[in-house]
A and B are shown apart, each in its own frame.
Chain A
């Protein structure tokens, strides 16, 4: 792809970080809570 300004590059990296956060935070939370001995209370 074409050369981009630093601001555009930062925006693209931010978009990528946000998308990966969206993809991985739910699974990371589930993995973290799988070590919770007391279980979970859903309300």
Chain B
């Protein structure tokens, strides 16, 4: 690290495209450079523990997994430290690419359903009397207090051939063979929606509760129907919440391996199961690492899309505010 004469750290200043544009910049030029003394602020000191934690427990393990993906699998399992790119090539093999696409389809369907149900719930909560809203939010989050496995097992109890749905069908007079609902793709999607729905409700509630009611009233006064007001006014202004909720559900669903294993009965392989199998069953850690890196790349793309959508929505909201003020 570059240090000043008094021993304090110095950071490179990169803020000037036109160095002589400001009096401060001209003064620095006069002193012979773009270096300024770096004074660690209180906020950077407060962030330091979190950054150390993230670096040690997120960045370093991810870097190790990435490094692992460039080696070969040993003959008897383990790792042969010979550089290769074939693990990444294998990720694009039609067999594994198909599993990626299947996982994206299942996660995408779960996300769509969760967003529709979660947005409706968040809208209803935001429209409820103010004193009831914290109560409804509490009950929306309460199922989260139970264990993920227990919540998933609850769906096994519900969907199995002797479960509540079959009992209800029989109660209504159905006498045929019980429908097979467990160990289907629908069961996996239902489990994913159920487990991640509160994320969407919370993410969508925040922008909906802050929404200026006068905007909707103005839209109705100008002759728009309730559906048009929702589509043209409320939905565009709550895109950041929808995008955040959708990203939560999609990212957590696409890498999930517990729900497909329990509710899919092993018939539906998702990327999470594939990575799990490579590490713990096939003992092919380098290929498992390449698959995990591909999964991280997909998640990064989704996060970038979310940031873009949020940015555009913020721009639209600022433009609308500017027009209203003008």
Decide: A2 and B213 in contact? CB cutoff 8 A. yes
Nearest Cβ distance between residue B261 and chain A, in whole angstroms? 15
Asked if B220 lies at the interface with its beta carbon under 8 angstroms from chain A, I say: yes
Alpha-carbon distance A33/B305, docked complex (angstroms)? 44
Residues of A within 8 A of B139 (CB): 20, 23
Given A27-B154, A42-B160, A43-B160, 12 further pairs, Cβ under 8 A: A2-B216, A15-B120, A15-B121, A16-B125, A19-B124, A24-B143, A26-B154, A27-B146, A29-B157, A42-B182, A43-B162, A43-B178
Within 8 A of B (CB), among A6-43: 8-9, 12-13, 15-16, 19-20, 22-27, 29-30, 33, 40-43
In the complex, are the beta carbons of B194 and A22 less than 8 A apart?
A: yes
CB neighbours of A15 from chain B (8 A): 120-121, 123-124
A17 nearest in chain B by CB position: B124
Is B154 a contact partner of A1 (Cβ separation < 8 A)? no
Interface on chain B toward A: helix, strand, loop, or mixed SS?
helix
Q: Are B120 and A33 in contact (CB under 8 A)?
A: no
Contacts A8-B226, A15-B124, A16-B125: A27 and B151 contacting too (C-beta < 8 A)? yes
CB nearest neighbor in A for B130: A1
Query: Can you list the 3 inter-chain pairs with the closest CB atoms, starting with the nearest?
Result: A26-B154, A43-B161, A19-B121
- Bound-state CA distance A3–B127 (Å) is 9
A interface majority secondary structure: helix
Interface size of B as a range? 35 or more
Roughly how many angstroms separate A41 CA and B198 CA in the complex, as a whole number? 30
B217, CB-defined interface residue at 8 Å: yes
Contact A1 B127 (CB under 8 A): yes
Q: Which residues of A contact B156 (CB under 8 A)?
A: 42
* Minimum CB–CB distance for A1 against chain B, Å: 5
Interface membership of chain B positions 152-175, coded 1 if the CB is closer than 8 angstroms to chain A and 0 otherwise: 011111101111100000000000
Write out the residue numbers on chain B whose beta carbons fall within 8 Å of the beta carbon of A8: 226
Contacts of B125 in A (CB 8 A): 16
Residues of A within 8 A of B123 (CB): 12, 15
Query: Is residue B66 contacting chain A, with contact meaning CB distance below 8 A?
Result: no
Cβ-defined partner of A16 (8 Å) among B128, B197, B198, B217: B128
Query: A12 touching B124 by the CB < 8 A rule?
Result: yes
Are B194 and A23 within 8 A (Cβ)? yes
Chain B residue contacts of A13, Cβ below 8 A: 124
Report the separation of the CA atoms of residues A40 and B162 in the bound assembly, to the nearest whole angstrom: 8
A23 contacts B157, CB within 8 Å?
A: no
Most buried by A among B124, B128, B143: B124
Asked if B136 is at the interface of the complex by the 8 Å CB criterion, the answer is: yes
Q: Quick check: is B293 within 8 A (CB to CB) of the other chain? A: no
Chain B, 191-219, contact with A by CB distance < 8 Å: what is the 0/1 string?
Answer: 00010011001000000000101001100
What is the CB-to-nearest-CB distance from A14 to chain B, in angstroms, rounded to a whole number? 9
Residues of B within 8 A of A29 (CB): 154, 157-158, 163-164
When distances are taken between beta carbons in the complex, the residues of chain B under 8 Å from A41 are: 162
Interface residues in B123-156 by Cβ distance below 8 A to A read: 123-128, 136, 139-140, 143, 146, 150-151, 153-156
